[in-house]
């Protein structure tokens, strides 16, 4: 089965998602189109990369993943198709693919687009590329080779011998905050020491990392490493982001103690 997925900041209130699905199906009527998310915060490339990194490895080989976040192409940010880890990606080359790929992609091609003057110049090239790839056309046949994808500065946590300072990169449907602190980074600094996690200020603390949300009583704050390997802080049966007024600018600090 030929699969195309959609990850966008277009929401479901407008016609953009439906228009793209229709254009893909006009070109490949048997394509299976899967919605990963249309609730990525507007222009939040790091959030888009987090969501898609957590999803794409679960799809069959040669699935096509369209990223419609900050999706207006320009001469400096063209539309690209990318082959990486046996999957295809179609996006504007705005830095999001640099956040998704840990290594050099197997292939990158630029795809022509026409400036229609209507703000939706990505629609037809996205659809054409996705349809062609789901129909089995080689990636080299749909565009012009490009040496690499564009990269953007990645928001990385600050690691010190006695603390880690991270940032919120995504807030999920349940109001849980996902940070840019990974399990590997935590283990590298922690070295078995006692610690406490400060959420935005010294007032709100979590002193252990649990294996499930239900490890604490309803209403209590809990920290886990989620299935994507990122530190996540939640309120069991609640919405920590709303309660503490957290957003993508919020920080999380982990202090480590030698005794």
pLDDT digit string (tens) for 35-44? 999 999 999 9
Integer Cα distance of 153 and 59 in angstroms: 28
Domain termination residue (choose one: 96, 119, 145):
145
pTM of the complete model beyond 0.85: yes
Domain boundary among 120, 145, 170: 145
Q: What's the number of domains the chain is made of?
A: 2
* Residue 77, in any domain of the structure: yes
> Which range marks the domain in which residue 164 is found?
158-257
Mark the ranges of the chain whose per-residue pLDDT is less than 70.
none
Please give the pLDDT value at position 139.
Answer: 98
**What pLDDT, on the 0 to 100 scale, is given for residue 16?**
95
Q: What is the pLDDT of residue 78?
A: 96
Strands 230-235 and 177-182, bridge-based pairing = antiparallel
Residues 121 and 9 in one domain: yes
Shared domain for 135 and 240, answered yes or no, is: no
Contacts of 102 (CB under 8 A, 6+ apart): none
Residues constituting the chain: 259
Give which of 164, 88, 87, 175 is closest to 126, Cα–Cα.
Answer: 88
Looking at residue 236, which CATH number applies to its domain?
A: 2.40.30.90
């Amino acid at each position: 089965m030929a699969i195309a997925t959609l990850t966008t900041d277009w929401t479901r209130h407008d016609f953009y998602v439906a228009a793209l699905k229709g254009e893909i199906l006009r070109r490949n009527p048997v394509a299976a189109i899967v919605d990963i998310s249309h609730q990525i915060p507007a222009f939040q490339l790091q959030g888009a990369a987090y969501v898609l990194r957590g999803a794409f490895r679960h799809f069959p080989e040669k699935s096509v993943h369209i990223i419609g976040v900050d999706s207006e192409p320009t001469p400096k940010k063209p539309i690209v198709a990318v082959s990486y880890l046996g999957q295809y990606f179609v996006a504007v080359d705005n830095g999001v693919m640099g956040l998704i790929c840990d290594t050099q992609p197997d292939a990158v091609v630029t795809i022509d687009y026409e400036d229609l003057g209507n703000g939706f110049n990505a629609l037809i090239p996205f659809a054409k590329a996705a349809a062609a790839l789901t129909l089995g056309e080689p990636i080299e046949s749909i565009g012009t080779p490009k040496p690499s994808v564009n990269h953007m500065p990645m928001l990385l946590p600050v690691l010190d011998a006695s603390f880690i300072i991270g940032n919120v990169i995504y807030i999920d449907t349940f109001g849980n905050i996902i940070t840019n602190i990974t399990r590997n980074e935590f283990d590298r600094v922690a070295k078995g020491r006692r610690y406490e996690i400060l959420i935005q200020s010294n007032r709100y603390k979590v002193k252990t990392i649990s294996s499930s949300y239900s490890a604490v009583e309803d209403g209590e704050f809990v920290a886990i490493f989620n299935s994507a390997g990122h530190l996540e802080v939640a309120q069991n049966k609640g919405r920590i982001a709303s309660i503490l007024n957290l957003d993508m600018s919020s920080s999380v600090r982990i202090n480590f103690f030698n005794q």
